[in-house]
């Protein structure tokens, strides 16, 4: 794989075999960031579970103490009498059947999070094949199917993220921007890891957190000793 000059220079700063304490790991990620834009910092956590089994799913949502550094566009499905409430709370797009038709007819995905009131899920359910593969389908576990629209929208805008296993039993999450600096990134990291540990399925056997790696958008990965934060 071809790697650019900046990546190679950044990679020299990192010992690929080492497990870094969180503070050192995020300091390195910030130091290794060479891009001309404010890179997103992501966390990749491999778990000792099997996502093919329903009783070993790991999924939830939390508000990061310092947010993600990104303003997220929120689409809300609700009845007409609640549309004004959703807009007042900060929703970017609000509607019902009209939005379903727009998504189906135009393949429209100019939003980051979809929220729905429970009484709209019969309508929203028709979008499962379109929203599901993109991770946009509302769910009670993620707090995106809720009667409390104002709270849900405020939390998303404040930096609420959803974490869930992919097919390879890894959770991928943005936890901030390089400009946050190591301390804020560590705070966000600790909050996310604590939530993942709390969500450990009873059926999970053996070592739960197998590996934990962080990286900026264009930078090399840094391995974290996730147990050091406990």
Give, for all 230 residues of the chain, the pLDDT tens digit. Answer: 545 555 556 556 677 788 999 999 999 999 888 888 999 999 999 999 998 898 998 988 899 999 999 888 999 999 999 999 999 999 999 999 999 999 999 999 999 999 999 999 999 999 999 999 998 999 998 889 999 999 999 999 988 888 989 999 999 999 999 999 999 999 999 999 999 999 999 988 889 999 999 999 888 889 999 775 44
- Alpha-carbon distance values, 87 to 62, 74, 82, 137 (Å): 23, 10, 9, 20
What are the backbone angles phi and psi of residue 144, rounded to the nearest 5°?
Answer: -105, 0
Residue 116: exposed, middle, or buried by beta-carbon count in 10 A (0-12, 13-18, 19+)?
A: buried
Q: What is the pLDDT of residue 224?
A: 94
SS3 content of the chain, % helix, strand, coil (to 5): 40, 20, 40
Q: Label each residue of 73-108 as H, E or C.
A: CEEEECCHHHHHHHHHHCCCEEECHHHHHHHHHHCC
- Alpha-carbon distance values, 31 to 7, 27, 28 (Å): 12, 6, 5
64, 161 in Cβ contact below 8 A? yes
Sheet bearing 170-177, strands edge to edge: 170-177, 40-47, 209-216, 222-223
Tokens of 65: 């103490």
Residues making up the chain, counted from first to last: 230
Q: What is the pLDDT of residue 220?
A: 86
Tokens of 59: 């999924």
Q: What is the pLDDT of residue 10?
A: 53
Q: What is the pLDDT of residue 12?
A: 65
> CA-CA distance, 162 to 112, in Å (whole number)?
11
Residues 172, 176, 182, 184: is their CA dihedral positive or negative? negative
């Amino acid at each position: 794989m071809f790697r650019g000059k900046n990546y190679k220079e950044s990679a020299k700063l990192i010992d690929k075999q080492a497990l870094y304490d969180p503070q050192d790991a995020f300091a390195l990620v910030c130091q290794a960031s060479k891009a001309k834009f404010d890179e997103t910092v992501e966390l990749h956590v491999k778990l000792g579970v099997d996502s093919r089994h329903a009783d070993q799913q790991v999924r939830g949502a939390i508000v990061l103490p310092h947010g993600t550094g990104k303003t997220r566009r929120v689409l809300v499905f609700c009845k007409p009498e609640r549309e004004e409430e959703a807009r007042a709370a900060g929703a970017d797009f609000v509607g019902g059947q009209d939005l379903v038709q727009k998504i189906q007819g135009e393949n429209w995905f100019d939003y980051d999070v979809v929220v729905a009131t429970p009484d709209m899920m019969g309508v929203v359910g028709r979008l499962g094949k379109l929203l599901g593969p993109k991770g946009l389908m509302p769910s009670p576990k993620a707090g995106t199917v809720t009667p409390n629209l104002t709270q849900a929208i405020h939390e998303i805008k404040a930096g609420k993220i959803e974490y869930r296993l992919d097919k390879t039993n890894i959770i991928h999450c943005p936890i901030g921007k390089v400009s946050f600096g190591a301390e804020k990134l560590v705070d966000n990291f600790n909050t996310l890891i604590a939530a993942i540990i709390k969500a450990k399925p009873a059926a999970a056997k053996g070592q739960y957190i197998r590996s934990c790696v962080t990286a900026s958008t264009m930078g090399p990965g840094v391995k974290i000793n996730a147990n050091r934060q406990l």
